[in-house]
Amino acid sequence: METVSENKCFGGTQGVYKHASKACACDMTFGLFLPEEAQFGEVPVLWYLSGLTCTHENAMTKAGAQAWAAEQGIALVFPDTSPRGEGVANDEAYDLGQGAGFYVNATQDPWAPHFQMWDYIAEELPALLGENFALDMDRQSITGHSMGGHGALTLAMGLPGRFRSVSAFAPIANPTQSDWGKKQLSAYLGDSGWDKHDATLLMQEVGFDGPVLIDQGGADQFLDLLKPEALSGAMAARRQEGTFRMQKGYDHSYFFISTFMEDHVAFHAEALHS
C-alpha cells in the first residue's frame, strides 16, 4: 500500500492511499479520514460510496463530512467507484464502465476481469483497512450518494450484521426498473442476479436490521431515474425502522449532500457509539 497524500484536517488526517487490488486486478485508490482519536485507539468507520463519474476524491473534498466525523470521532472511507487504468474495460458513456461500477461483481465480458466492486467493498478493502489503520471493524456504518446510495443500501441489506446503520442521499432506489440500472445490470450481469442489487426489492424481501435514513431532494433533476417512491413505499410497507425525508427545493448536487451531511453523520454516530 502506497501513501499518495496525507493532509491534516479537523485535528485528524485526510489520507489518500493506493494499493494493488486482487478483486479488481488493478491498482485502486481510496480516501480515509482518521479523526484525532485514532491516535489513541481504534475508532468506528463510516463508509461513503460515491455516484456515477466520481472517484475517491469528490466526496472527500466537497461533501464536508470531515467536520462532523471529527466531532463524532469517526473515520470516513471514500472508495473509488470502479476499477481504472489501461487494460481495464471502459465505455464512452458516463454511466457504464470506469466511474460506474455499480457495486456489483460483473459476470459478463468485457467487464468480468476487473469489475468486481462488490467483493472489493465487501471484502478486500475492509480487510486492508483493518490491518493497516486504527479502525474498529466491528463498528461500521455505510452511506452514499446516487449510485453510491444504491451501493450502500444493497451492501447493508446484503451483508446482514455488517453495518449498524445505513443512510443514503438520493439513492438509485429501484435500478431493475430504471434506465439507471437496467443498462448497467444487463451489461455487468447479463440476465440474472439482478434482485440482490435493487434496494427496493431487498427492502421488500429482507429489510435492514437497524436504522435507515434516506434524504432525497425534491427538485432533483433525476427523480424519474432514482424512483424514491418505490423505496419509500417498501420501507413503510415493511415497517422498516427508519426515516425517509423529501427535502424541498434541493437537487442532486454536492450542495444538497453537504447540507444534510451533519444529520447523516450524527445518525450513524448514534448507532456506532451505542
The reply to whether 146 belongs to the active site is: yes
Neighbours of 5 (CB within 10 A): 9
By beta-carbon proximity to a second copy, the closer residue of 31 and 211 is 31
Contact by Cβ (8 Å): 135, 129: yes
Contact by Cβ (8 Å): 174, 198: yes
Which of 141, 146, 165, 232 is catalytic? The answer is 146
**Could you list the residues that contact a second copy (CB under 8 A)?**
7-11, 14, 61-62, 64, 66-67, 217, 219, 249-251, 253-256, 258-259, 262
Cell of 219: 427538485
Cell of 8: 491534516
By beta-carbon proximity to a second copy, the closer residue of 14 and 116 is 14
Please state at what angle helix 65-72 crosses helix 254-272, rounded to 10 degrees.
10
Smallest gap from Cβ 2 to a second copy, in A, equals: 19
By beta-carbon proximity to a second copy, the closer residue of 183 and 245 is 245
By beta-carbon proximity to a second copy, the closer residue of 21 and 50 is 50
Which of 220, 232, 264, 268 is catalytic? The answer is 220
Smallest gap from Cβ 124 to a second copy, in A, equals: 27
Neighbours of 266 (CB within 10 A): 13
Smallest gap from Cβ 254 to a second copy, in A, equals: 7
The reply to whether 197 belongs to the active site is: no
Residue 219 CA to residue 246 CA, distance in Å, equals 9
Smallest gap from Cβ 224 to a second copy, in A, equals: 19
Adjacent-strand bridge partners of 17: 3, 30
Q: Which residues are catalytic?
A: 146, 220, 252
